[in-house]
Amino acid sequence: MTFSDYFIDIALIALVVLQVRGRRLTLHSLLLPVALSSWAAITYLHGIPTAGNDLVLVVLGAGLGITLGALAGFFTNVTVGADGHPFAKAGALAAILWVAGVGTRLAFQLYVSHGGASAIARFSASHSITSVEAWVAALILMAVGEALTRNAVVAFRGYQLAPMHFLGQTGMIDAGDRAY
């Protein structure tokens, strides 16, 4: 694993602190996890293999990410603040689900990097997984699916509660009463 691999994984885990503390729903707060996982996808995803059971592994990884993201979004408390803007605060279960997804990917990478590669190769051979790229695609799409789905659920819920204030879109300049 490279320094950037560790950095991205640790940054995604650290985002749970911001989620548990709670924060106003802004474009930045919604796009940061998506940007981090998208950067990883652009950097490491070189295609989606379809030979053998490669595609099955990729679909399972993406499906797991989407499921974890949806559940984390559902278990995030979305309210309207005193200023009328939506506010999101992850509950304990949402934080556990987020860390489980990111932590599982980090643990898998550490396992492969520190002696587990031969065990993964044996597992892959016995289950007709034909390439390392299948594992990469499954893990990357799991991360992207988790980030996108969680934030889509939270954003939808925030918009439902405060459509006029969603992401600061009030039709007014926030610092004053002048219309755009």
* Residue 35, C-beta contacts closer than 8 angstroms, at least 6 positions apart: none
pLDDT of 18: 67
0.75 exceeded by pTM: yes
Helix axes 132-161, 27-44, angle to 10 degrees: 170
Q: What are the Cα distances from residue 144, in Å, to 44, 63, 151? A: 12, 11, 11
Tens of pLDDT, residues 3-55: 766 777 777 777 777 677 788 888 888 888 788 878 878 988 888 999 999 99
Q: Sign of dihedral through CA atoms 115, 118, 124, 129? A: positive
pLDDT along the chain (180 residues), means of 10: 70 72 82 81 89 96 95 94 88 88 87 92 95 92 90 92 70 40
Report the distance separating Cα 39 and Cα 124, nearest Å. 27
- DSSP annotation string for 53-91: THHHHHHHHHHHHHHHHHHHHHTEEEEE-TTS-EEEEE-
